Structure formats: C-alpha cells, structure tokens
C-alpha cells in the first residue's frame, strides 16, 4: 500500500482509500459492487477477466481498470502472481477450491505476499453442507429466515429484488471485512483471509427480528409492529393508484399522523385489537386524494409519511436531487460522505489495460501475449446487465 504523504493540505482532497490496490476476480453482482464501493473511496481496483472468467460490463465498473489473463495457462498464473505481490487486497467469488485450481488460492497468494487481505465473497461460505452448491439471493434469504418474514400473511413471501442477500448481506459485509482487515494490518503487519458468506450476512441482518419472531411484536409474516400488521407502518393506495408509506411508530409521530388524517382524538396506537378498524379507516381515507396531494398535506408534520416512488421518480425528488446533483447521470451515488475528502463518481472505462498494468511488473510484450487468452473465441462473455429479455405475444 502506497499512502500519500501526511500533508494536511493534500489530505483535504484525498479520498480515504487512496494508495490501496485491489485485485478483483469476483463475478456477477455482489463482488463487483463491493469493489466499486471501494474504488469510489479511492482504492485502485484492477479487475482480472478473460478466458472463462468473462468480459467486464459497465454496471459496477466505474473507477476500475481491466486486464485479461488466461489463468489456465502457467503464463497467466505467473502474471497474476506478480500482480498480487503489489496488491493489498484480493477479492474472488468462486465456489470453494476454484481459485486454488487457477493458482489464485489464499495459500499460494499469501505465501507470495504475507500482507495480502484475501476476501472470498460467496453465497454459502467456505464450509458447510451447501458450500459447493449454486445459489442466488432468493435462496440465501429463504434459508436464513429472511424471506419467510417478508410479505403478506395470506400470500407467498415477497421477493425484495436481490437487494438484501447480494448487496446488504454480501457486498457491504465484504467491504466492511476488507477495510477492517486493512486496519488490523496497520497494527500487525499481516494480511488475513476473509470468508464473507451471504448466508451469514442474512442471519446477521435478522439480529433484531429473529429473537421476537412468533411473539406479539412479530407473530408471523405480514403481522406485528414491523411486519405490516400495524396500520401505521405499512403502505396505502391513493386515489391515483400510487402508494404512500406510513412509519409513525412513536407516539408523537402517530399523534401527528392521526390529527392530520383523521382530525379527531388520538387513540392508543398500541391497542392491537383496534388495528383492523384503524387500517380500514386509513385505507378509505387515503383513497380520497392522489399521492402527491397527501404529501403536500403532510409536509412538515413529522408524521413519517412518505411517497412510494418508482426508481425513475426517485432522482427527481427535491431532497435526493439536492444531495446527489453530481450523481444524477449514473444514478449511483458515492457513499458515504466524508468531511475532508472530495467525493465524486470516478469515470467508467472498460478498455483492456493489460499492457498498462502488466508492463511495470517487468513483463515483456511477448510474456503479456502468452498470459492473455489465446483467442477471442476463448473469451466467454459474463452475464451482462440488463439481460436480454424475450417475450412471445
């Protein structure tokens, strides 16, 4: 890791992870999103693709450089080893054992670079009866109990896109582990292995909810205070067919909601027996006006009433537009904000930079050619996003 000089003037514009080099061999969504977050924070991210590993797509590619290596060839493995000697972090997302067969296992790379932080971001982790099984977000949510707690009481569980397991329980947990291991290295001088399993992240996300499952707080799916049973913590359809959400859990927020909406004496909002009637009254009342009219009515009331915006509406909301004016083109903001660093989204460029990256490592043009996939035919494209959908009418 090359850390810039401790110059207070320079530090004001320096991003927190500048000087950190990350080698990214992850695929699909969670790993690339994780390394995009780290690239946004200043890390140098070099994505290793090529061969059956696939070609880059631009969804999570900003701030990264891309190279192609044939890791089934000795020359490709040697090039990767030289690169990893200069790295601080290595990220991969293959099933257990795959990277070892490609000469990129933890034992091999840590022997070359004892300070390397090596993160395996997978669905089921490195051990356990399902470690070698294929999986996706919905499966990890299912097995961890998350999906069983989401959705209506009288219907199937609701699928929350692939936001929770892939990104919240995967990408963010891996990024936290990487940054923590880098901090630990400042004290020990040693890197370490990180087993970041999305199934573990999902279980952690249930820390607040699993202990109260099948209690009055969360008696079942679609029930309880946070599960959709409370009439003041759910969504309602408005006159225009759009929706509004309520989050008036605390007494003062509920009182503001009730006075504005019902204009009568505030009842005990924790009386569960009154919830069905209250929900029916709310449903009838919210159908009387369009969504945006309700928003204007509740503006400034602190009743925790919010419009349910579609993804293409969100960036037009005044609050989001004000906070993220510079991110409006990509619609993916740089997070979080820092007091000293000047944070802005890096450019996206998926041009192959193999020569640019590998030449400084002492590899000749001939060696770089031998390390690369032998032909375009051997470069199997990765799953692109968005995928090409078909329909038959």
**Nearest C-alpha neighbor of 283 from the set 237, 242, 224:** 237
Sheet with 21-25, strands from edge to edge, namely: 64-68, 44-49, 21-25, 89-92, 117-122, 193-197
Residues 372 and 157: their CA atoms lie apart, in Å, by 46
143-150 contacts at long range (C-beta below 8 A, 24 or more positions apart): 143/199, 143/202, 144/199, 144/202, 144/203, 144/205, 144/206, 145/202, 145/203, 145/206, 145/210, 145/213, 146/202, 146/205, 146/206, 148/221, 149/206, 149/209, 149/213, 149/218, 149/221, 149/227, 150/221
Structure tokens at 253: 């927020």
CA distance 101 to 253: 58
Of the candidates 21, 313, 31, the residue with the CA atom closest to the CA atom of residue 194: 31
Residues of the chain with CATH 3.30.1540.10: 233-308
Measured CA to CA, the distance from residue 139 to residue 124 in angstroms comes to 10
Question: Is the CB of residue 206 less than 8 Å from the CB of residue 145?
Answer: yes
pLDDT, tens digit (0-9, with 9 covering 90-100), for 51-62: 444 445 678 999
Cβ within 8 Å of residue 196, ≥6 positions away: 119, 120, 121, 122, 170, 173, 174, 177
Question: The domain 233-308 belongs to what CATH superfamily?
Answer: formyl-coa transferase, domain 3 (3.30.1540.10)
Cα separations (Å) of 331 from 10, 100, 311, 348, 349? 29, 37, 10, 13, 17
Known catalytic residue at 166: yes
On whether the pTM is more than 0.85, the answer is: yes
Of 40, 70, 137, 166, the active-site residue reads: 166
In what helix (H) or strand (E) does residue 49 lie, and over which residues does it extend? strand 44-49
Give the architecture-level CATH label for domain 21-206+347-378.
3-Layer(aba) Sandwich (3.40)
pLDDT per residue of the chain (393 residues) written in tens, 0 to 9: 765 555 554 555 789 999 999 999 998 899 999 999 999 999 999 999 864 444 456 789 999 999 999 999 999 999 999 999 999 999 999 999 999 999 999 999 999 999 999 999 999 999 999 999 999 999 999 999 999 999 999 999 999 999 999 999 999 999 999 999 999 999 999 999 999 999 999 999 999 999 999 999 999 999 999 999 999 999 999 999 999 999 999 999 999 999 999 999 999 999 999 999 999 999 999 999 999 999 999 999 999 999 999 999 998 999 998 888 656 556 788 888 787 777 777 788 888 889 999 999 999 999 999 998 864 434 444 556 667 777 776
81, 136, 209, 317: which is the annotated catalytic residue? 136
Closest CA to 234 of 277, 167, 282: 282
Helix, strand or coil, per DSSP, at residue 352? strand
Residue with tokens 């060696």: 367
Nearest to residue 157, comparing CAs of 143, 170, 179, 142? 142
Strand 243-246 to strand 305-307: parallel, antiparallel, or no bridges (unpaired)? antiparallel
Q: At what angle do helices 172-188 and 198-205 cross, to 10 degrees?
A: 100
Give the burial class of 256: count Cβ atoms within 10 A of its Cβ; 0-12 exposed, 13-18 middle, 19 or more buried.
buried
393 included as an active-site residue:
no
Residue keyed to tokens 């990277």: 99
């Amino acid at each position: 890791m090359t850390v810039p000089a401790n110059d207070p003037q320079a530090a004001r514009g320096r991003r927190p992870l500048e000087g950190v080099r990350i080698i990214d061999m992850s695929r699909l969504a969670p790993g690339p999103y994780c390394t995009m977050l780290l690239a946004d924070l200043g890390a140098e991210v070099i994505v290793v693709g090529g061969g059956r590993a696939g070609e880059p797509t631009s969804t999570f590619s900003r701030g990264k450089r891309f190279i192609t290596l044939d890791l089934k060839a000795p020359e490709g493995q040697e090039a990767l080893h030289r690169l990893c000697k200069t790295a601080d972090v290595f990220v991969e997302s293959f099933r257990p054992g795959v990277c070892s067969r490609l000469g990129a296992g933890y034992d091999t790379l840590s022997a070359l670079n004892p300070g390397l932080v090596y993160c395996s971001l997978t669905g089921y982790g490195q051990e356990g009866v399902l470690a070698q099984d294929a999986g996706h977000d919905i499966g990890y949510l299912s097995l961890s109990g998350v999906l069983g707690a989401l959705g209506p009481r009288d219907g199937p569980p609701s699928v929350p896109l692939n936001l929770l397991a892939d990104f919240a329980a995967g990408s963010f947990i891996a990024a936290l582990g990487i940054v923590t291991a880098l901090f630990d290295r400042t004290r020990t001088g040693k890197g370490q292995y990180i087993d970041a399993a999305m199934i573990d992240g999902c279980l952690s996300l249930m820390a607040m909810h699993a202990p109260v499952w099948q209690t009055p707080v969360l008696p079942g799916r679609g029930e309880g205070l946070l599960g959709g049973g409370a009439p003041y913590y759910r969504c309602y359809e408005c006159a225009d067919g759009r929706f509004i959400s309520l989050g008036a859990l605390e007494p003062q927020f509920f009182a503001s909601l009730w006075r504005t909406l019902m204009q009568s004496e505030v009842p005990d909002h924790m009386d569960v027996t009154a919830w069905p009637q209250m929900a029916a009254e709310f449903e009838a009342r919210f159908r009387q006006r369009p969504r945006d009219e309700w928003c204007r009515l509740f503006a400034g009331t602190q009743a925790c009433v919010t419009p349910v915006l579609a993804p293409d509406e969100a960036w037009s909301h005044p609050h989001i537009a004000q906070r993220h004016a510079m991110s409006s083109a990509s619609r993916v903001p740089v997070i979080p904000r820092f007091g000293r660093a000047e944070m802005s989204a890096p450019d996206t460029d998926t041009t192959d930079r193999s020569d640019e990256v590998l030449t400084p490592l002492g590899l000749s043009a001939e060696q770089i050619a031998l390390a690369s996939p032998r032909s375009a035919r051997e470069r199997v494209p990765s799953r692109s996003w968005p995928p090409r959908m078909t329909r038959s009418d």
